[in-house]
Amino acid sequence: MTTAHSNIMLMVGKEGEEKVEGVIHTFLAPLIHELAIEYPQWVFRARKWGPGLSSLVILVITEFDVLDKREVIGVIGRENRYSRFSGDVYVIKTDKIGDVRERGDSIKTANMKRAVATTVKKFVSAKGLKERYEENYVKAREKLGEVRAVKAKVLYVADAPILGMYTKFVNSRMEELRASLTVHEREQLDARDIAKREFDLCNEVVIGAGATGAVFVHIHGEDYLLGTERDNPTCQSSEQLPPHIRTAVGMLKLLQPSQLIEGVGMKVSEDAFIVTRKADE
């Protein structure tokens, strides 16, 4: 039977051989169809199959890989349980189950409603909040390193032409120095001051605990995850956010990624920000 859902892939066959269209096992089909409708962004790809019981059905699919953005987030299948409670059962597998179950990485149930609930709970979290936070945390650290490197290079280039001028006026006030410079030299000095200020600003947004450590903020829907480490963020709603973080995020949203605001922080991406701490925090 050809499925009407474009995210269910029924083509099966051995490596190197011509693929043929299989049929989902009758016990498994309702579960796969319901999930395919509810989560159209998921792709259900035939993973395991066997011969059919009639000449009309050549191959019967009993297991699917479930992919989200081309990444396998779990497996859904059907098994026959040979015990005093014999019969078909749904089998849901994902690394997320293995994290909390010592007996294996799968959950088995004959109840379709429970199978749907388990799949949604485990598979959504398989590429969900914590992983997205960790990905953006790593991205934030990498992005900050890239920005620091660029600002350091700009500072080095801007420093070079005025080192001689600084040597002559090392004990003089800046006003005296500026008064002795040509228009071009003053422009060079101004450029150096801007580069130095932007480089110093990078040090304000170093993520970490302590009085000078900045806070990493990841937005997930209506929730905000705050942290100074890669693990164990705190989750707060918009109403629970400290006022200065809510204000800072609002300002940073207006920027392009990698841009900074002095005393506020840096925008990493559309849902990730680094916010500097208040002086009295």
Q: In what order do the strands lie in the sheet with 260-261?
A: 234-237, 223-227, 215-220, 272-275, 265-269, 260-261
Look at residue 248 and give its three-state secondary structure: helix
pTM exceeding 0.75: no
Show the beta-strand stretches assigned E in the chain: 8-9, 11-12, 20-21, 23-24, 42-54, 57-68, 71-81, 87-93, 106-109, 215-220, 223-227, 234-237, 260-261, 265-269, 272-275
The tens-digit pLDDT sequence of the chain (281 residues) is: 445 678 998 887 766 667 788 889 999 999 999 999 988 989 999 988 887 665 555 788 999 999 988 888 889 999 887 555 568 899 988 865 444 344 456 788 888 888 888 777 777 665 566 677 788 888 899 999 999 999 988 888 888 787 777 766 655 667 777 788 899 988 998 898 888 888 878 877 777 766 567 899 999 888 899 988 777 788 888 888 989 999 999 999 999 998 999 889 999 999 999 998 764 45
Cβ–Cβ < 8 Å for 264, 248: yes
* Domain limits, the chain: 8-126, 129-275
